[in-house]
Chains A and B, each alone.
Chain A
Amino acid sequence: GENVEQHPSTLSVQEGDSAVIKCTYSDSASNYFPWYKQELGKRPQLIIDIRSNVGEKKDQRIAVTLNKTAKHFSLHITETQPEDSAVYFCAASISFGNEKLTFGTGTRLTIIP
């Protein structure tokens, strides 16, 4: 089955700096790569996603890049703010309805004011 590795497990950045979280996947058939943000005690919430026919996607301060050849994808957050502090999960799916997401182990991002 699919295996997703995520690095780093913890990341601290100064407010205003950029943060990058990286994931690799094992199954070349995976075609959908979402990123979720989870605040303490809350449910995961989708922040951005990318499909395998696209190399990069941006939404305001967040962007995701995908390298299908190397089987890795990354989350980039620019101009970080205190409210960006949370745990971020990457995931991969080969299923049409995305009912079978395989998640990475998460990155705890702390923004230092």
Chain B
Amino acid sequence: NAGVTQTPKFQVLKTGQSMTLQCAQDMNHEYMSWYRQDPGMGLRLIHYSVGAGITDQGEVPNGYNVSRSTTEDFPLRLLSAAPSQTSVYFCASSYSERGAYEQYFGPGTRLTVT
């Protein structure tokens, strides 16, 4: 299993540009989430999904869109990049079986908006 994969690893955008951060998992996990990590602020939830076709907003959803057309993929779209979106983005997936609830994180995408 590759686990949770994210592409790209690094990205530089200009203000106003749009892009999609890719996230995929091959563990057949029901739940997937996107977090952003900023210095001194821990990880904050952007959007999450409890299954294909179902998404919802987290703590900091403004400026981001998501979709979940398949169990495996959960892309994050930046509609019009702003310098405030400079951050490290982590995708995560999890399952709930027999009392196990571990959330697995991808390697992250470091995004810089100039």
Contact = CB atoms under 8 A, between A and B. Distances in A.
Interface residues of B, number: 29
Contacts of B33: 99-101
Contacts of B95: 97
Given A43-B105, A45-B105, A46-B103, A98 B41 contact: no
6 contacts: A34-B101, A98-B31, A98-B96, A100-B48, A101-B103, A104-B42
Nearest to B91: A43
A104 B44 CA distance: 9
Contact of B103 (A34, A51, A105, A106): A34
Interface in B41-96: 41-45, 48-50, 58-59, 90, 92, 94-96
Contacts of A104: 42
A43 B90 contact: yes
Nearest to B30: A97
Contacts of B103: 34, 46, 98-99, 101
Interface in A55-104: 89, 93, 96-104
Contacts of B42: 6, 89, 103-106
A100 B96 contact: no
Contact of B108 (A1, A43, A93, A97): A43
B45 A102 contact: yes
A19 B57 CA distance: 36
Nearest to B33: A99
A103 B103 CA distance: 13
Contact of A99 (B40, B49, B59): B49
A93 B31 CA distance: 13
A13 B99 CA distance: 34
Contacts of A99: 31-33, 48-50, 92, 94, 103
Contacts of B50: 97, 99
Nearest to A90: B42
